[in-house]
Structure 1
Amino acid sequence: MSGAFLHTIFDIAAWLAAAGAVYWLSRQGLRFPTQSFELPYVAALVFGAGLGAYLFGSANLWLSGQSGIARSVEGALAGGIVAIELYKWSAGITVRTGARFALPLALGIAIGRLGCYFAGLDDFTYGTPTTLPWGHDFGDGVLRHPVQLYESAAMALFAIAYVAAALNRNAFAITNGFYLVLLYYGSQRFLWEFLKPYGALIGPFTLFHLLSLSILLYAAVMLATAPKARRLQNELLA
């Protein structure tokens, strides 16, 4: 079975898991902002995510001395954030609308990264050479860090923690889950970038180092300005 086929299978599984997470959350008696299901909102999200995915993915290839077109999940995340913030600003929406996407995002990345792992060298998401016993040969005879599995495991841990918070009706975690997952994702992704063979952009930092920092800082600001927990309890939990 080819790596490209397996990648597609895991991509589909990631989308199905994300949809399942949205459904599961809707069955927990939790109330999320309705704006995130409105058609203009979804259109802005899809457009921004798609543009960001190809823009940053392809730019990273170029910076790494390779040609072609590529996609990036982190690029999609950044593009979606920018598009939604611009849409909300133009529409006069002041409500924080990302809460329902925390668990779907974590699950989607955790499963999707497995597809990147099985895609092998062609996916260009593998790690740098290592002598560690769990180094993986992606087909060129070189043992490399399976950074895709590192990220998959990290995001799966977040998903487990979020589910526990949702079941315990943790108002702050539920309402600010999207910014928590962004903070967590940006932090762990920044670390894994040191284990990837990507071309540097500034000093030792790659394009995705800088993108990870941007996402991390955005999340930190949003969390620092989050409404108080008691108010969240009254407004967003059934």
Structure 2
Amino acid sequence: MSGAFLHTLFDIAAWLAAAVALYWLSRQGLRFPAQSFERSYLAALVFGAGLGAYLFGSANLWLSGQSGIARSVEGALVGGIAAIELYKRSAGITVRTGARFALPLALGIAIGRLGCYFAGLDDFTYGTPTAWPWGHDFGDGIPRHPVQLYESAAMGAFALLYVVAVLNRSAFVITNGFYLVLVYYGAQRFLWEFLKPYGTLLGPFTLFHLLSLSILLYAVVMLARAPKARPMHERAVA
């Protein structure tokens, strides 16, 4: 079975898992802002995420001395956030609309990264050479960091902790879940970038280092400005 086919299978599995996560959250008695399921909102999200995925994915490829077109989940995240913030500003939406996407995002990335791992060298998401015992040969005879598995495990751990928080009705985690997953994602992704063979953009930092820091900074600012979370029976999740 080819790496490209496996990658596609895991991409589909990631989307299905995200959909299941959304359904599960809807069964937990939580109320999320209705704006995040409006057609215009979703259209802005899909457009921004798609544009960001190809723009930043391809830019990183070129900065690394390779030709072609590529996609990036981090680029999709940055593009989606930017598009939604612009959409909310133009539509006069002041409530926070990302809370329902925390678990789908974490779970989707955790599963999707497995597809990157099985895609091998063609996916250009592998790590740098390593002598560590779990180094993986992606087909060129060189043991490399399986950074896709590092990220998959990290995001899977967040998803598990988030589920526990929902079951325990943690108002802070549920209300601010989207920004918490962004802080977590940005921090772990920043670390893994040091183990990837990408071309640098600023000093020792790659394009994805800078995107990770941007995501992290955005989320920290939003958390700092967040209203105090009250018990879930008193308010809707914003």
C-alpha displacement at 1:232, in angstroms? 6.1
Equivalent residue, structure 2, for 1:50: 50
Correspondences of 1:210-229 after superposition (within 5 Å): 210-229=210-229
Inter-partner Cα distance in structure 1 for 2:56 and 2:159: 25
Partner residue, 2:197: 197
Query: 1:171–1:233: 8 Å Cα contact kept in structure 2?
Result: no
SS at match of 2:201: strand
Q: Which residue of 1 aligns with 2:176?
A: 176
SS of the residue corresponding to residue 230 of structure 2 reads: helix
User: C-alpha offsets along residues 71-102 of structure 1, whole Å, 9 cap, x if unaligned?
Assistant: 00000000000000000000000000000000
Q: Are the equivalent residues in 2 in contact too, given 1:151–1:188 (CA < 8 A)? A: yes
Q: Tell me the residue number matched to 2:149.
A: 149
**What amino acid maps onto 2:192 in structure 1?**
W
* 2:85 equivalent to 1:85: yes
Kindly indicate whether residue 133 of structure 2 is the aligned counterpart of residue 133 of structure 1: yes
Mapped partners of 2:19, 2:230: distance in 1: 29
Question: Which stretches of structure 1, 4 residues or longer, exceed 2 Å deviation after superposition?
Answer: 230-233
Shift of 1:234: 1.6
CA contact (8 A) 2:14 2:111 kept: yes
Displacement of 1:236 in angstroms is 2.1
What is the count of residue pairs matched by the alignment? 237
Aligned counterparts of 2:225 and 2:27: Cα–Cα separation in 1: 29
Secondary structure of the corresponding residue to residue 31 of structure 1:
coil
- SS of the aligned residue for 1:201 comes to strand
Q: What code does the residue aligned with 1:114 have?
A: L
Give the letter for the 1:41 counterpart. Y
Change over 3 Å in CA distance of 1:233–1:183 after alignment to 2: farther
The RMSD of aligned alpha carbons is 0.9
Distance, in Å, in 1 between the alignment partners of 2:233 and 2:180 is: 17
CA distance, structure 1, for counterparts of residue 179 and residue 15 of structure 2: 20
Rounded to whole Å, the distance in 1 between the matches of 2:107 and 2:149 is 13
**Aligned partners of 1:228, 1:153: CA distance in 2, in Å?**
31
Report the AA paired with residue 175 of structure 2. Answer: T
Gaps of 5+ in 1: none
Which residue in the other structure is 2:119 paired with? 119
Report the alpha carbon displacement of residue 231 of structure 1 after superposing the two structures with TM: 6.9
CA contact (8 A) 1:172 1:232 kept: no
- CA–CA distance in structure 2, aligned partners of residues 235 and 92 of structure 1: 21
Instruction: Work out the CA distance in 1 between the residues paired with 2:57 and 2:13.
Output: 21
Whether the aligned pair in 1 keeps the contact of 2:30 and 2:232 (CA below 8 Å) is no
Percentage identity across aligned positions?
A: 85
Match of 1:101 in 2: 101
Which region of structure 1 is more displaced relative to structure 2, 194-203 or 227-236?
227-236
Tell me by how many angstroms 1:27 deviates: 0.2
Q: Deviations over 1:180-231 (max 9, x none)?
A: 0000000000000000000000000000000000000000000011111227
Partner of 2:70: 70
Report the secondary structure of 1:24's partner residue: helix
Q: Counterparts of 1:230 and 1:38 in 2: how far apart (Å)?
A: 26
